[in-house]
Copies of this chain bind each other. A is one copy, B any other.
């Protein structure tokens, strides 16, 4: 209606003119300032509606110094763990009225993480979450821009940054103890890649339980989290069937690979070998046999990390750094049984 064929979108001044008020009053209406007459408010609202006005958050951010945007740096968001964590982060952030700008690293190294953090800082994010599961990446948090609120997820850190993570050591202990409780003499371990903090934590927990029980610590096999690497480890372990009666695998995907290898080699799970995984991906319950595993509540980790970050932002950075641990949960299914013979 009308010759309203302006090419560029309306701005506050346009709304103000149409409503017959000053642009500041429009701003007040938009920001729920109390001192605006009800009648004026509705007049402004009507004008906004009529023009299809949308405020320009970029201009707002320039003056307020807050973009209400959070940065997230992550690694391979294709994997179930990172994907779920980032999802939890995004949900929690949006519930709190924040946007999320994501940088997904292809390879993770200190320089890459640093670059990502730098970009996000230029972009004016109010805070940064680094999903830093590797030692090298975690170290990048040492040279964060001054005054930038940040939180590390699944990271390890001694320095001055808050950390939220699942208790990997505890999870590994749960898994290993369960197998020992079933009467197995000892427990083998297929670990994740060396540089990963989660892999280290799981190794630590596994070793601790074995040591405490005075059991021999078998040679460790190392995978790369992929089903294929688990399959390869499985082939090796199958060759030792008889010696090996229980395996704690560092994640469910590798456990699937083991299961496949054992099936091919005619090794029965759990009759001959018991297996415990880690993560509890949605598929695990339907493996053959259904996988006993350790559940990580990634969603909770994401949410808690946003809690911590927002608290830090709102406190103006005057808050002590926190270390928040989310407990893992043991999930009993059908891939474990009492030791044979």
Interface residues of A (CB under 8 A from B): 9, 52, 54-59, 61-62, 67, 69, 76-78, 80, 83-84, 86-87, 90-91, 94, 99-104, 106, 118-119, 121-124, 145-147, 226-228, 230-231, 253, 256-257, 259-260, 263, 282-283, 285-288, 290
Contact = CB atoms under 8 A, between A and B. Distances in A.
Nearest to A231: B286
A274 to B, nearest CB: 17
Contacts of A62: 56, 58-59, 62
Nearest to A290: B260
Nearest to A298: B78
A166 to B, nearest CB: 17
A91 B103 CA distance: 8
Contact of A282 (B52, B146, B226): B226
Given A58-B124, A78-B84, A94-B103, 18 more contacts: A9-B145, A9-B147, A56-B122, A56-B124, A58-B61, A58-B62, A76-B87, A77-B86, A78-B80, A78-B83, A99-B101, A99-B103, A99-B123, A100-B101, A228-B286, A230-B286, A259-B286, A288-B288
Contacts of A118: 54
B67 A90 contact: no
Number of copies: 2
A287 B256 CA distance: 7
A147 B282 CA distance: 41
A87 B91 contact: no
Nearest to A84: B78
Nearest to A90: B104
A227 B122 contact: no
A107 to B, nearest CB: 12
Closest 8 CB pairs of A and B: A260-B286, A227-B286, A83-B83, A58-B124, A90-B104, A58-B61, A263-B288, A57-B122
Contacts of A59: 62
A52 B118 CA distance: 11
Nearest to A261: B286
Contacts of A226: 282
A78 B55 CA distance: 32
5 contacts: A76-B87, A78-B84, A90-B103, A100-B101, A101-B102
Contact of A286 (B57, B101, B257, B282): B257
Nearest to A255: B286
B84 A227 contact: no
Nearest to A118: B54
A87 B74 CA distance: 11
A69 B101 CA distance: 9
Contact of A102 (B90, B259, B286): B90
Contact of A256 (B90, B263, B283): B283
Contacts of A147: 9
B103 A102 contact: no
